[in-house]
Structure 1
Amino acid sequence: MHCYVYHSSRRPGTYVYLPRRDDFAGVPQALLDALGRLEFALAFDLPPERRLAQEDTATVLANLESKGFHLQLPPPEE
C-alpha cells in the first residue's frame, strides 16, 4: 500500500497517515481542528514486512484500511 504522511502544524511530533494524497475525508473534523494545518511530509510504499521506527506496521495498515487514516502521536516523555 502506498502511504502519505502529514505533520501537524499545531502538535509537534504528531503525524497523520493517509492511503490517498490530500484525501482527508476519513479523518474526523474534530481531529482535523485539533491538529491545525496538516503539511505534507513524505510518501512511501508500506508493505506488511516493512518496519517503521515508531509504529507497528500491521496497526498502521489496519487503520488505513478500516478508518481511512492512522494517527501517530509523539512518544511519551520519560
Structure 2
Amino acid sequence: MNKRICDIYRSPRHDEMYLYVPKQEGLERVPEKLQELFGKPVHVTTLLITAERKLARADVDKVIHALQDQGYYLQMPPVVDDEMRAIAAQNSKLSRG
C-alpha cells in the first residue's frame, strides 16, 4: 500500500523529534521504552502520506515502509555540528546589531 493516514506527534522532551504512527493503530506498536524516552506525545497533525508527497525532513518511502513494517517512524532532530552552531551564532549577532 503506497498511502497511509497517520498521526504525527512531537516530543515534549526533545526539540524537533516527531513520531509518525498509523491513524488506525495509534501508539499500540510503539515500544514502551521509546514511549518513555519520547515523553507524552503531543498531537501535531493527521496527514495522508503517499509516495508522491514530499516531507520536509523525512524520506517518504522510508516513512511508509516503517509504518507498514514496525508501526511507527521516528523522525530525529537534525544534527547540528560545531560549524553550524557558529554560523547560527554569527547570524543572530548580525540580526541584533
The answer to whether the superposition gives a TM-score over 0.5 is yes
Say whether the 8 Å CA contact 2:29–2:72 is kept in structure 1: yes
Of residues 27, 37, 42 in structure 2, which corresponds to 1:39? Answer: 42
Q: How high is the TM-score relative to the length of structure 2? A: 0.76
Following superposition, the deviation at residue 55 of structure 1 comes to 0.4
Query: Considering only aligned residues, what root-mean-square deviation do their CA atoms show, in Å?
Result: 1.2
Distance across 1 between alignment mates of 2:44 and 2:16: 12
Greater C-alpha radius of gyration: 2
2:71 is the alignment partner of 1:68: yes
Distance across 1 between alignment mates of 2:7 and 2:45: 6
- Give the structure with the larger helix fraction: 2
2:33 is the alignment partner of 1:30: yes
Following superposition, the deviation at residue 21 of structure 1 comes to 5.7
Task: Give, as a single letter, the amino acid of the residue that structure 1 aligns with 2:54.
Answer: R
Using a 3 Å threshold, how does the CA distance of structure 1 residues 9 and 21 change in structure 2: closer, same or farther? farther
Query: Runs in 1 of length 4+ with deviation above 3 angstroms?
Result: none
Task: Give, as a single letter, the amino acid of the residue that structure 2 aligns with 1:53.
Answer: A
Distance across 1 between alignment mates of 2:38 and 2:69: 21
Gaps of 5+ in 2: 82-97
Count of residue pairs the alignment pairs up: 78
Following superposition, the deviation at residue 20 of structure 1 comes to 1.6
Secondary structure at 2:66's aligned position in 1? helix
Distance across 1 between alignment mates of 2:48 and 2:15: 24
Residue 17 (structure 2) aligns with = 14
Say whether the 8 Å CA contact 2:13–2:39 is kept in structure 1: yes
